[in-house]
Amino acid sequence: MSEIHDKQKTTILNLLTEKSVMKQDVFSNTISVFKLLKEILQERANDLESELSKVDKRVSIVFKENGPQSIQLKVAGDMLDFHMHSNVFEFEPSHPMFKTGYIKNNNLNSYCGIINVYNFLADSFKFNRLNDLGYLIARIFINREKKFFIETKTQIGHRYSNFSNDPLTKETLTEIINELIIFAVSFDLFTPPYEIVKSVTVAEIQEQQSANALRTGKRLGYIAGSYGSSEDEVNL
């Protein structure tokens, strides 16, 4: 029995040494990238706000930090919400990344931290419209070597759909952020289909006085069968 216990102890120590240390490295890298993200967003806000103030002071660019894991960039009528998850994730064995030499050489490279980017209407926060919809427009994955890839509906997703050859830099992250801003601002709010809003309750009308009742969200302009489903084109 003692021999079994010794083997179990060895297994536990090996797992803690290998996996747990790796996950700490992943989390540290994700924190580092998120801090860099904050720096870039602050710079973008200051730079764009300075330029826009010369054109029209009604158009604002505002950076806001909501905590160690959440930051927002208000760009005119859009709100980009960046959220860093506190956990480290592994992918399903069927994920295409497992066919790459990078992962085949070392499976630990597949573990990632995640930064999610959502697109909301700025008015949803301004008027506290809690029922309004936001859409996930990008996920940035960072591994133990600080290499990255992104899942996104923007054009830049094709360039970074696999793990990068080099660690994520400020220059590359700035490029990604710029593309996300362009993507969010380029697509406008569509009038909801008539059939969806043709009826409303008295309670919903009364609640509109506090701007909480009828749900609103941007359509993302995807072409069905290309980047998304037809549901992506519906604005509620």
How many DSSP H helices and E strands does the chain contain? Answer: 7, 6
pLDDT value of residue 18: 83
Q: Other C-beta atoms within 10 Å of 8: how many?
A: 10
From residue 132, give the alpha-carbon distance in Å to each of 78, 81, 204: 13, 14, 14
Say whether 84 sits in a helix, a strand or coil.
strand
pLDDT value of residue 223: 32
* Residue indicated by tokens 């072409």: 223
Say whether 220 sits in a helix, a strand or coil.
coil
**Percent of the chain scoring above 70 in pLDDT:** 81
Mean pLDDT per 10-residue section of the chain, whose length is 236 residues = 84 86 96 97 92 84 92 94 95 89 94 95 86 88 97 88 95 96 81 69 66 55 34 34
pLDDT value of residue 219: 56
pLDDT value of residue 211: 53
Are the CB atoms for 149 and 162 separated by under 8 Å?
yes
67: left (phi over 0), alpha (psi -120 to 50) or beta: left
Are the CB atoms for 145 and 117 separated by under 8 Å?
no
- For the chain, the structural domain boundaries read 2-188
Residue 87 carries which side chain, given as an amino acid letter?
N
pLDDT value of residue 226: 34
